[in-house]
Structure formats: structure tokens, C-alpha cells
Amino acid sequence: MGTAPLGIVMNGVTGRMGYRQHLLRSILAIREQGGVLLSTGERVQVRPLLVGRRAAALQEIAERHGIEDWTTDLDAALADDRWQVYADFQVTSARVAAIRRAIAAGKDVYTEKPTAETHAEAVELAELAAAAGVRNGVVHDKLFLPGLLKLKRLLDSGFFGQVLSVRGEFGYWVFEGGWQPAQRPSWNYRAEDGGGIVVDMFPHWNYVLEDLFGRVESVYAKATTHITSRVDERGEPYAATADDAAYGIFELEGGVVAQINSSWAVRVDRGELVEFQVDGTHGSAVAGLFGCRIQPRNATPKPVWNPDVPDSRDYRAGWLEVPDNDPVENGFKVQWEQFVRHVVEDAPHPYDFASGARGVRLAEAGLESSRTGRRVSIQDSDAEVATR
Ligand SMILES: NC(=O)c1ccc[n+]([C@@H]2O[C@H](COP(=O)([O-])OP(=O)(O)OC[C@H]3O[C@@H](n4cnc5c(N)ncnc54)[C@H](O)[C@@H]3O)[C@@H](O)[C@H]2O)c1
């Protein structure tokens, strides 16, 4: 501990997440504010080392942001004691091999989700990290969305009474890439390159459901590829082999039923790109990325089904907006601050590789359910990590 800067190897900083969320909005913002505040009142500064495959791209980013250190040699970075943390924002398919090397080099590891493409590999990473005694963490950014923070506040205040059900709608139209460029990288639509909406989004749904409503006990899902051919970044057509929509039902401990549709082939007729409706005995809420509306039971209208008479009631008008109350920081930065405190002063960090493995387990179970047409029960992968 102390005031020496914490060296962080950042692999994949030329990518969407690595550059914008992890480098710009998190590590450089933390550097700008003078470091991470510790419980002692001291601050620990961060020092990034950019790692990637293309020297010119790394040099350009380093110069643009006044970063001293960059390299294309990951092994040399991992062998260097000046860097204590390894952070991974590469494409998912490149992650496991790099994290294995980082753990073997004794680095603490922080990573984007999913931690691996298969549950077996995700569990293996958790076991390797535990055996090596390195600290480990995985992104859980959706919990920091202002709308979900409001939802958490409603839950903590007992607003819902007994929560009965959750209905989530996530998605938007991702252009095919032909007559308009696609707005997401093409690897997301190729199963062979680690793509697919289930492996992308179910790890998020796992920690969101777990944190707010209870652990997932079973899943039934139908995953499908609605758009089977797309055009990549170079204008080349390719077969879209990965699922681009998944319709899931999740049973949670305590009896809550959650239903979440995830789709990149849907047009948005909602207030936000993701929305969760939560219905409880005492009230309901609809939370999005930013907003959250509520309807308590004593302001609930009493509709009567009558197909003969047009309904003049404005149901949407009967909801109340939850105020912002407190300023909200970028979730990726808050997560980085938590992880740095975990590394430097052993502060708690429940979103570890075991948590990441549960997310991958849910994705795998979702795909299994889709393949077999059966509901799949979820075993506790923490227990698997502990008992192997
Ligand atoms: N937390 C979130 O909300 C969220 C959102 C999107 C993506 N992600 C995750 O972040 C990761 C990166 O996604 P992205 O959208 O930034 O992708 P991206 O394609 O924009 O960036 C990928 C990065 O990996 C590098 N890369 C590409 N191919 C590689 C290879 N074969 N070997 C090594 N490196 C390679 C690229 O140079 C780039 O730096 C993925 O694992 C994805 O699941 C998380």
C-alpha cells in the first residue's frame, strides 16, 4: 500500500469498450482526478500500459492522451513487475488464453464479460486465479445504470411489497451492413468468432437478476438467427452464424419469474434501449437506462375489458417519474475504483471470476435450452469451483 502508482496493463484499448469506457471514461478520468480514494484518505494513482497488436494504433492513442507506456509485447508486459494488474477488453475469443498467461505471471486480473466462451473455461479461470491467489474481477456495468440504481432504491425501500415478476426488453435494430454500415462489430454476428446475443447478454442478465431479485435457478430460452447474412467492416458479405435474438424465461430463487427478450433485430418502440417492468403486490416500476417510472397499488387504475367501446384511458399517464436525487458517475469508472480498492486495500469485490462463471453458465444453459427445447436448471457454479 502507499502512494506508488498502480500499474495496469490494458489489453484491447483500440476496441469500442477498451477505448471509450475503460481507458477514457475510467482510467484516464481516474488519473485526471488524482487517483482512487482509499479508506485511509490517501489516493492511489493509476498508470496504464497500453497493449495490443498494432503498434501504430497504440502509439496514436498514447500520444493523443499523454500516456507514456505502450507495447505490442504482452509477455514482456506480464513479466514486468511495474505492472500489477492485467485488464482484458479484447474480443471474447482472445480472452481466456491471455488471462491464463496473466494469472501465471501473478497479475491481479480485471476483465470484460463474458470471462470465457465456455463455462468450463470460465470455471478454469476462477480456479486458476484462486490457486494463484490473484485478485480477480469482472465487469458488471448494468448495475450502475441510473435507471437500475433507481430500481435498486425502490427494492431497498420496500416499494414493491412482494416482487412477482420481471419483464425485460433489450434491443434495437443493428443494420445489416449493406445499404447502411452496421453500428456493431461484425464478429458479434459470427458464432465462430465468439459472437451471439446469448453469450453477450445473458452474463449481464445473470448479475442483474442475481443482484436485484435472486439467483437464477432455471432458464428456458429460444435463441434464433433472424438475419442470416450481413456485410462486414470491409464491405464483404458474410454468413451471420450467431444468434441475434433470444427469448428467455428465468425462474429465480424466491419464486420471481423473469422474462427477458434480447434482440438486435427489433425496432424500438420504448422509451429506452433496455427496459425492465417489475410488478409487485404493492406497486410496479418500469426502469430503463436512465429513467424509472412507478405506479403504486393505490394509484392503479381498474380497467375492464370491453372490445365494443374504445378505451379513453391514457394508461401511460398514470405513472410517476422517480427523481434523480443524486448525481450518477460512469459505471465503468465506479467499477474500476472498486477493483483498485480491492487490489490495494483488500476491499470487498463480489463480482469475481466465480460470478463471471455463473454468467457464462447461464449463457450456456440458455443455448442448451434453445437446442433441446427444454428448461435447464442451473447448478451453483461457485460450488463447482470450490469442490473440484
Ligand atoms: N460491458 C458491456 O456492456 C460490453 C459491451 C460491448 C462489448 N463488451 C465486451 O467487450 C469485449 C470487446 O468488445 P468490443 O465491442 O469493444 O469489440 P471491438 O471489436 O470494438 O474491440 C475488440 C478489441 O480486441 C482486439 N482484437 C480483435 N481481434 C482480436 C484477436 N483475434 N486477438 C486479439 N485481440 C483482438 C481489437 O483490436 C480491439 O482492441 C467483448 O468481450 C465484449 O463481449 C462488453
Q: State if residue 195 touches ligand 1 by the CB under 6 angstroms criterion.
A: no
What would the pLDDT profile of 187-217 be if each residue is shown by its tens digit? 999 999 999 999 999 999 999 999 999 999 9
Q: State if residue 17 touches ligand 1 by the CB under 6 angstroms criterion.
A: yes
Q: State if residue 90 touches ligand 1 by the CB under 6 angstroms criterion.
A: yes
Sign of torsion over alpha carbons 189, 193, 199, 200? negative
Q: What is the CATH number of domain 6-140+330-350?
A: 3.40.50.720
Answer yes or no: are the C-beta atoms of 136 and 352 closer than 8 Å: yes
Of all atoms in ligand 1, which is nearest to the CA of residue 11? Answer: 39
pTM of the model: 0.93
Q: 374 C-alpha to center of ligand 1: Å?
A: 32
Residue-by-residue DSSP string for 96-120: HHHHHHHHHTT-EEEEPSPS-SSHH
The β-bridge partners of 88 are: 11, 111
Q: State if residue 72 touches ligand 1 by the CB under 6 angstroms criterion.
A: no
Distance CA 9, CA 37 (A): 21
Residue boundaries of the structural domains of the chain: 6-140+330-350, 142-321
pLDDT number for residue 379 = 74
| pLDDT surpasses 60 at 386 | no
Of all atoms in ligand 1, which is nearest to the CA of residue 92? Answer: 41
CATH topology of domain 142-321: Dihydrodipicolinate Reductase; domain 2 (3.30.360)
Neighbours of 233 (CB within 10 A): 11
Mean pLDDT of the chain: 96
Q: 187 C-alpha to center of ligand 1: Å?
A: 9
Residues 6+ apart with CB under 8 A from 305: none
Q: State if residue 193 touches ligand 1 by the CB under 6 angstroms criterion.
A: no
Give the mean model confidence (pLDDT) for residues 277-304: 97
Distance CA 254, CA 338 (A): 29
Of all atoms in ligand 1, which is nearest to the CA of residue 14? Answer: 39
Neighbours of 237 (CB within 10 A): 12
